[in-house]
Amino acid sequence: MGGDGILAKNTIQSVADLKGKTVGVNQGSVSEWFLAQVLEKNGMHLSDVKETNMTSGAAGAAFVASKIDVAVTWEPWLSKAKARTDGHVLVSSATYPDLIMDSFAFRKDFVQKYPDTVKDFMKAYYDAYNWMQANKTEALKVIGAAVQETPDDVTADLSTMKLFDLSTGKQVIGTSSSHGKIYDNVKAAADFWKAQGKIDTAVNPSDAVDPSFINSL
C-alpha cells in the first residue's frame, strides 16, 4: 500500500491547494480514478483541476525534472520525489488502501476455452509468491534484473505494496455467494467510468469477477 500517489511542489500542501492547478495524469487509467477519488473524498471534483494527459511514468519523470507542478504516478517516482527538496508526496494510496487493487484479467472467451490454463497460471503465481517469501535475497535479484533496479530499489518499491498470499486473496475475492472487497471496487470504478462517458454500460461486478479459480486452489 502506498505505491500510487500524487506528487506536488512544496507550495501545494493540501488537496484543497490543487484547485485550479494543472495535473499530469494518464486519463482513462487507474491514475485518473485515484485522482478523482482523492478529490471527491476532499469535497472536490475532477473539474476543479486542469488535467494534462500523459502516461503515469511520463508524469513522474516530468515532475522530477521540474516540468510540471503536480503528477499522479507510482513507484519508483514517489521515492524519487521524496529525495528532492522542491517537491513531496501530497497523498499516496497508503491513505486510501482499498482504492487500488492490482489484479489479473483474462478475456472471457479465453477463460471459457482454457480454464485449466487460467488455473495453472494462478497456481504458478502463488507458487512464485511462496518462493519469494522463502528466498527473499534471491527474489530481489530476480525482480531487480527484470525491472532494471537494484535489490535496494526493489525493497523500497515493495515496501509500498501489499502482496496477498492465497488466504488473503480468497478473502478479497470472496465467493459467488459471499462477495469480497473486490466486488465493491469493480462497481465503484464501473459507475465512475460510466459517469465519465468512458464506458456505455456499467459493469455488473459478478460478470467481471470469477471467484471459482482462486477458490479451487
Residue 13 sits in the same domain as residue 59 = yes
Closest to 162 in 3D by CA, of 148, 147, 149, 172: 172
- Joined grid coordinates for residue 50: 486542469
- Joined grid coordinates for residue 57: 511514468
CA 131 → CA 122, 136, 138, 140, 180, distances in Å?
14, 8, 10, 12, 26
Residue 140 sits in the same domain as residue 200 = yes
Residue 9 sits in the same domain as residue 72 = yes
Q: Pick the last residue of a domain from 92, 124, 156.
A: 92
Residue 137 sits in the same domain as residue 73 = no
Q: Could you report the per-residue pLDDT of 114-139, keeping only the tens digit for each?
A: 999 999 999 999 999 999 999 999 99
Q: Could you report the per-residue pLDDT of 180-211, keeping only the tens digit for each?
A: 999 999 999 999 999 989 999 888 999 999 99
CA 189 → CA 29, 61, 203, distances in Å?
11, 27, 9
Residue 210 sits in the same domain as residue 113 = yes
The boundaries of the domain holding residue 170 are: 108-216
Residue 102: inside a domain: no
Residue 135 sits in the same domain as residue 208 = yes
In this prediction, residue 1 has a pLDDT band, given cuts at 50, 70 and 90, of low
> Which pTM value belongs to this model?
0.81
* pLDDT > 90? residue 216: yes
| Exposed/middle/buried for residue 17 (C-beta within 10 Å: 0-12, 13-18, 19+) | middle
Q: Could you report the per-residue pLDDT of 36-85, keeping only the tens digit for each?
A: 999 999 999 999 999 999 999 999 999 999 999 999 999 889 888 888 88
CA–CA dist 72, 5 (Å, integer)? 6
Residue 76 sits in the same domain as residue 144 = no
Task: Identify the CATH number of the domain in which residue 75 sits.
Answer: 3.40.190.10
* pLDDT > 80? residue 158: yes
Residue 103: inside a domain: no
